[in-house]
Structures are given as C-alpha cells and as structure tokens.
Amino acid sequence: MKIMFKYFFLIIASLYGVFVFGQNTTVNQNSLQLNAITTAMPFLSINPDSRSGGLGDAGTALSPNANSIYWNTAGISFSKNKMEIGGSIVPWLRQLTNDINLYYLAGYRKFNDRNALTFAFRQFTLGEITYTNDQGTILRPDKPSEQEAVIGYALKLSDKFSLGVNGKFAYSNLTGGMIVAGAQTQAGVAGAADLSFMYQNTDINWGGKDGELRLGATMNNIGNKISYSSLASSDFLPMNMKLGGSYLMKMDAYNSMTFTLDLQKLLVPTPPIYYQGNMIAGKSNNVGVISGVLQSFSDAPGQIVYDATNKPILVDGKAKIVKGSRLKEELSEITISGGIEYNYNKVLAVRGGYFHESSNKGGRQFFTFGVGLKYNIMQIDMSYIAALSRNSPLANTLRFSLLFTINSNQE
C-alpha cells in the first residue's frame, strides 16, 4: 500500500509540471487573433474511450483494447487477446443541457498472430429540439442524431511494426428536413477512411527497469465534404493527423507506470481573414479534400498589423503581417495532450492527464482524471474532465467504458 501511495503522489507532481508547461504555451499565443477551425460532423472527434479520457485524451500509442479502432487500429495486431468487445456511454456537454449523449460499441477479432478485424458503431443523440417559425409558432419537435459505422483491418508487418486501415460511413441528420431561410435542408452523408501505423518494442531496459515502448501515427476521417442544404457551402470532415508515444515502466512484479503523449493537428484549411468583403490574409478554404489536406500545413494568415484607427494596414490589397506570426499560428493549431497511468497488479489503474489547445484556436484546456478496475474478463473504466475555465461546456464531463476479453489465452 505504501508503494501505491508513493506512485500516486508521483503522478500528481508530474501533472503539476505539465500544467506549468501548458500555461506558458497559452501566454505565447495571446498576440494571435481568434481564428478557430470549424468542421462538419464534429461528433466524429469525440473520444469515447474512458482509459485515454483519463490520460488527457491521449491514446494514439497506448496498448491495444477494443476501443483502439478509434485511436490506432494498427495496434490491435499486437494484442495478446484473440477477441474483445466493449461499450461506452458519454453524457456530453452537461454544463449546457442534460440530454446529449454519445453511445459507442466496438470490438475486434484476431484470426492469427498477424491479422485482425475490428468494428465500431457510435450513436450521438442531441436531445429534443422544438422548431418554431419567425412568429414563434411551434412547428414540430424533433430529435436530431448522428451515426457512424466503422470496419477496420490490422496487419502485423513484423515483430515491431503494424499497419491499420478503417473504412467508415457517417450520417448526420440535424434538421429533420426542415425548410430554413427558404432552403430545403437535408442530412449529411459521408464516407471516410483512417490510416494508422504502430511501432512496438517490448524488450527495453531503461534505468535498470524493464519497459515497453510504443510509437503511433494516424490520419483520420479523410473523406468527402458535406452540406446540409443545396444552397449552403460544403464543409470538411474533422480530418486530422495524430502522432503519439507511450512508455510502460515496470517498477516491480506488481507496480507499473505508463507515460503517454499525443500531438494532433486538423488537416483542414485555416479560415482566411476578410476586410470589407475582400480576403486580405490567408488562403481560400473553398478547395477540394486533397488540396485542403496539403494546404492545412501552410495557410495560417498570421497576425495582422493595424494602424492607429484600428484598421488593417494593406499593401496591394493584402494585409501587412507580423513577421513570424504565420508559423506561430500554424504551430498553435497543434493540440498537446498527455498523461500518466499507475497500474497495480493489472487490477487497479489510477490515471491523470492534461489537454491543451491554444486560446486562439478554441481554448480547450483541462485536466483529466480516471480509474480502472479489472476482474477476470471484465474491465470497467471511468474518466472525468476538470476544465480550467469555469464557463467551459466540457467541465465535469464523465465517460464510462466496459470491456470484455474473450479467449485471452492466444495460441
């Protein structure tokens, strides 16, 4: 028990260091104007996994489980179990309403040491909405919802490298076919793919302690743009790239600690800046999917220079930009998340983490905490978000996950 408390206090001390790092990053971004990137179907980016939810939403390089299809399908080929299935419930945005929920079901089946198939289904319910006309007359109630179905394949290329690919179908019905501003609305339909890689080395000894190193990389939600009306412009899916690493340190026969870190960037064009109807900084985001992915690495408009009357200084119709601010804004689009997990005898897990997004790109900044209990073939995980902002809609968010391991003694 003394050992357990020693590691628990080590987790708290480490998270304090992460907090200091996150705060410094926020200060460095204050000079940039607010220019958040928005996408269609943002529900595709809601993490359903309670384990990674307790680690600051970092899961790209964690050891595999049934929820790995969301984070990194490639890792499933390294699983020691033949089959797992799990479900999650995430009450969402409880600071705003009490009837938005995410339901998630996922699992995998390994056919041999190299090949595995995996699946996932999510249902995102947005509660009940009552539609009214301009005079406030009630037209009808509706219950908008969104769904995603995913099938994935994991292939072990060697003892240390693996590849994963997912195909997915997403459906988003937010308006129920209502006529809005004279336009007939419609459901959004998308087909998309994920590509993932994993490196795993379970034969490491650092500082006299055995350990396991995992490195992961993914590209997610690469698919068509969607529109909810024939008169509206099309929007990108939340296409993104994740890079992650984790290290499992085996302290002794009963105690271990896992350290993990993720970097994530949206592969979606940054909105340009307009003045009096003219684009004065950045690049047009009215482009195709492939062009949008490539453009997303170099299209940040940067910080505009204003004159004494608070008007942008223009040169040949383009705004004067603070030197170095374009690169600074590109870097600010990278979110950083990480956490630490203490595990006792593969039965009890205690987790903590931190998530940081720059203030000019949305400002999501929060601590996370979580616990996990495993008994025989069943594992229960729970995580909690402690937002740094009192007004954050993510504050006090809980996630609950239940996993079942089937045929754990792989041949």
Number of other CB atoms surrounding residue 327 within 10 Å: 12
Number of other CB atoms surrounding residue 322 within 10 Å: 13
* Domain encompassing residue 294: 273-332
Tell me whether residue 325 is in a domain: yes
Q: Are residues 128 and 173 in the same domain?
A: yes
Domain finish residue from 281, 298, 332: 332
pLDDT given for residue 181 in this prediction: 66
Distance CA 169, CA 226 (A): 13
Q: Are residues 13 and 128 in the same domain?
A: yes
How many domains is the chain built from?
A: 2
Question: What does the DSSP assignment read for 2-42?
Answer: HHHHHHHHHHHHHHHHHHHHHHHHHHHTTTSPP-----S-G
Q: Are residues 284 and 264 in the same domain?
A: no
Q: Are residues 160 and 293 in the same domain?
A: no
**CB contact set of 64 (below 8 Å; sequence gap of 6+):** 72, 75, 76, 78, 79
pLDDT given for residue 185 in this prediction: 83
Tell me whether residue 51 is in a domain: yes
Residue 201 structure tokens = 């080395």
Q: Are residues 19 and 156 in the same domain?
A: yes
Q: Are residues 184 and 283 in the same domain?
A: no
CATH number, position 368: 2.40.160.40
Q: Are residues 199 and 309 in the same domain?
A: no
Q: Residue type at 19? A: F
Q: Per-residue pLDDT tens, the chain, 411 aa: give them.
A: 344 444 444 444 444 343 334 334 333 334 688 999 999 999 999 999 999 999 999 999 999 999 999 999 999 999 999 999 999 999 999 888 888 999 999 999 999 999 999 999 999 999 888 877 777 777 778 889 999 999 999 999 999 999 999 999 999 998 877 776 667 788 999 999 999 999 999 999 998 899 999 999 999 999 999 998 877 789 999 999 999 999 999 999 999 999 999 999 999 999 999 999 999 999 999 999 999 999 999 999 999 999 999 999 999 999 999 999 999 999 999 999 999 999 999 999 999 999 999 999 999 999 999 999 999 999 999 999 999 987 889 999 999 999 999 876 544
**CB contact set of 81 (below 8 Å; sequence gap of 6+):** 110, 405, 406, 407, 408, 410
Domain finish residue from 284, 307, 332: 332
Tell me whether residue 233 is in a domain: no
Domain finish residue from 283, 313, 332: 332
Strand partners, 378: 375, 404
Q: Which residue has the tokens 């479900």?
A: 87
pLDDT given for residue 67 in this prediction: 96
Q: Are residues 205 and 126 in the same domain?
A: yes
Tell me whether residue 234 is in a domain: no
Q: Are residues 243 and 372 in the same domain?
A: yes
Q: Are residues 12 and 102 in the same domain?
A: yes
pLDDT given for residue 409 in this prediction: 53
φ/ψ of 44, rounded to 5, equals -65, -20
Q: Are residues 345 and 292 in the same domain?
A: no
CB contact at 8 A, 132 and 43: no
CB contact at 8 A, 287 and 225: no
Q: Are residues 288 and 141 in the same domain?
A: no
- Rounded to two decimals, the pTM is 0.89
Tell me whether residue 228 is in a domain: no
